[in-house]
Amino acid sequence: MSEEDKKEEYCSICLRSEKTAGRLFKLPNNINVCDDCMHKAMDQIGAMDLSYIQSFPTPRNNADDPAKSKASSAADIKTEKIEGEVEDNPDTKPDGEKKENEGQNTNGMPQGFPNIQFLNLADFANPFMQRQRVKTAPKKDKAKEFDFSKIPLPHKIKSMLDEYVIGQEKAKKVVSVAVYNHYKRVEESLHGEKGDVEIEKSNILMIGPTGCGKTYLVQTLAKILDVPLAITDATTLTEAGYIGDDIESVVSKLLAAADNDVERAEHGIIFIDEIDKIAKKKNTNARDVSGESVQQGMLKLLEGAEIEVPVGASSKNAMVPMATVDTKNILFICGGAFPDLDEIIKQRLTKETSIGFMAELKDKWDKERNILSKVEVEDIRKYGMIPEFIGRLPIICSLEGLTVDMMVKILEEPKNAIIKQYKKLLSMDEVDLVFEHEALEAIAEKALNKDTGARALRSIIEEFMLDIMYEVPKDDNIGRVTITKAYIEGKGGPIIDMRGVEELVDKLEDISTVEGTGEVVE
């Protein structure tokens, strides 16, 4: 197949492909016009007021000669040399003679008419459309650039996630294996032989309470991996034809993350957050444009299909170019908090509740913090997700609820922990910030009572650090600030050490240290 046969043809006016717009009229200068745009152009020309144009000019001295009249045209009339006249423009004749072409310009058109041909085809030339797209196909140079040996192993991916994410061991293992297998799929699609076993993708559904680290886990994954990864939100998606983002906008964000490289985007990862917000609405007679209809529209994306997505925009229109993306090799990770799902799980687990001996108590599972770990497909379907949608997310991963110990670790262990951020802020003022362990536990207990997960930690720290961040820069003599449990509970204040006292204590310790023994003389 030649290169010309591989090219897609597009309408130069509405930018639609031949597959979408139908047959195209081939015009000079590599201009293609679809049937609809041609009819609209003719209708506009028919509605123009052309009464001031009396008639089209005819060449001179050709009225009696049909051959000459047929060979010449109104656009390229040449002046004939007449004996006794100067060979020049016919408009520049001596005074007293009537100008034969008076009222006409050099192109033979009436004066005042634009100096272009009638329906000049060059006016349709769009510099953006001069570059015709080639249908998406794996390029050999892209396959050579991909090196499977540089892909980190699952345990290495998990170790890198451990530096930022506390806990959630199962979720990190699931994501690490899924990403590693996703790269294997890329390797198979680029270098695999036809006829071998085809590896199917395993989309993931992450379920966990709010603030447990679902979105942060994927954001961290995007930092440590060199793969196109798009994080989008399902709350703005609506059915086609309604106000909101189209379902294809999910893939257009991935295309933008891949720098509009279709081949690279087809091997990327898409994380759809707040997936529980598109559940079926219960007890409503209104049209569910952002619920079940969105789930049905996403079926083809999750399964794998060639779809046309807008480039550089979230919605389709005539002025936005389109690109064809195959979602067969795109890994989808969906995450959601699924509020009140725990009640559905408890109801399923206590079906055999009865009165008498050996009866199960209704409040047996009320104190179970990780009740979401017992989730099943039946519970998700009852929540409002259609079976076809759940079937395309074969891996269901539940995240643990945070405990006090996990909260304390989140405060101080990750690379970009909140405590480390505030220490760095005060270090710019040459002040040391110290947190007592009991103070960290008090902060964790307060955050746990708010039921908003790790997001509550920063709001609590911001509250009691406001006065410190405001007062400390005033005094240059402050050298250290210690946060105590009493200050967190509102029963006392922080311990402030002055800079001169610290330096004096350090000098006394150095002087009183016995050389070679390490013992301090009191």
Per residue in 238-276, pLDDT (tens digit) is 887 777 788 888 898 899 888 888 888 888 889 999 999
Same domain, 159 and 259: yes
Higher pLDDT, 288 or 390: 390
Lowest mean pLDDT: which of 16-30, 268-282, 314-328, 481-495? 314-328
Mean pLDDT, residues 499-510: 60
Mean pLDDT, residues 380-384: 92
Mean pLDDT, residues 173-177: 92
Instruction: Determine the structural domain holding residue 314 and report its residue range.
Output: 151-398
Q: Which of 442, 415, 432 is nearest to 166 (CA)?
A: 415
Q: In this structure, is residue 112 part of a structural domain?
A: no
- Give the span between the Cα atoms of 160 and 190, in whole angstroms: 27
Quick one: DSSP state of residue 148?
G
Same domain, 331 and 460: no
Helices (H), 352-394: 377-383, 387-391
Higher pLDDT, 325 or 93: 325
- Whole-number average pLDDT of the chain: 76
Same domain, 319 and 448: no
Q: Highest mean pLDDT: which of 64-68, 97-101, 110-114, 279-283?
A: 279-283
Final residue before a domain boundary, out of 398, 415, 448 = 398
- Give the span between the Cα atoms of 388 and 385, in whole angstroms: 8
Mean pLDDT, residues 129-142: 42
Higher pLDDT, 313 or 44: 44
Q: In this structure, is residue 356 part of a structural domain?
A: yes
pLDDT at 207: 93
Percent of the chain whose pLDDT exceeds 90 = 21
Higher pLDDT, 74 or 499: 499
- Give the span between the Cα atoms of 221 and 158, in whole angstroms: 10
CATH of the domain at 421: 1.10.8.60
Q: In this structure, is residue 16 part of a structural domain?
A: no
- Give the span between the Cα atoms of 152 and 148, in whole angstroms: 9
Mean pLDDT, residues 434-453: 91
Final residue before a domain boundary, out of 398, 417, 448 = 398
Higher pLDDT, 6 or 226: 226
Same domain, 192 and 329: yes
pLDDT reading at 71 higher than 70: no
Does the global pTM surpass 0.75?
no
pLDDT at 372: 86
CATH of the domain at 238: 3.40.50.300
Q: In this structure, is residue 236 part of a structural domain?
A: yes
Same domain, 379 and 456: no
pLDDT tier for residue 45 given thresholds of 50, 70 and 90: confident
- Give the span between the Cα atoms of 391 and 381, in whole angstroms: 10
Q: In this structure, is residue 296 part of a structural domain?
A: yes
Mean pLDDT, residues 24-47: 82
Residue type, 431: V
pLDDT at 520: 44
pLDDT reading at 396 higher than 80: yes
- Give the span between the Cα atoms of 187 and 155, in whole angstroms: 20
pLDDT at 420: 92
Same domain, 421 and 393: no
Beta strand 31-34 with 24-27 is antiparallel
pLDDT at 128: 44
Mean pLDDT, residues 27-37: 84
pLDDT at 354: 53
pLDDT reading at 135 higher than 50: no
pLDDT reading at 511 higher than 80: no
Q: In this structure, is residue 325 part of a structural domain?
A: yes
Same domain, 266 and 165: yes
Same domain, 388 and 414: no
Mean pLDDT, residues 204-217: 89
Per residue in 149-165, pLDDT (tens digit) is 777 889 999 999 998 89
Same domain, 410 and 393: no
Final residue before a domain boundary, out of 344, 367, 398 = 398
Same domain, 333 and 444: no
Beta strand 432-435 with 269-273 is unpaired
pLDDT at 328: 87
Q: In this structure, is residue 256 part of a structural domain?
A: yes
pLDDT reading at 98 higher than 60: no
Dihedral angle computed from the Cα positions of residues 422, 424, 430 and 434, in that order, rounded to the nearest 10 degrees? 50
Q: In this structure, is residue 459 part of a structural domain?
A: yes
Query: Which residue matches tokens 């951020």?
Result: 421
Lowest mean pLDDT: which of 15-24, 170-179, 247-256, 385-394? 15-24
Same domain, 293 and 429: no
Torsion over CA: 166, 167, 168, 173 (sign): positive
Q: Compute the half-sphere exposure of residue 149: CA atoms within 13 Å on the CB side of its CA.
A: 2
Query: Which residue matches tokens 């007062």?
Result: 471
Same domain, 451 and 354: no
- Dmax over Cα atoms in the chain, in whole Å? 131
b/e map 229-266, b = 16+ CB within 10 Å: bbbbbbeebbbeeeebbbbbbbbbbbbbbbeeebbbbb
pLDDT at 151: 79
Lowest mean pLDDT: which of 136-145, 391-400, 477-486? 136-145
DSSP 110-122: BTTS-SS-TT-GG
pLDDT at 421: 92
- Domains in the chain: how many in total? 2
pLDDT at 226: 75
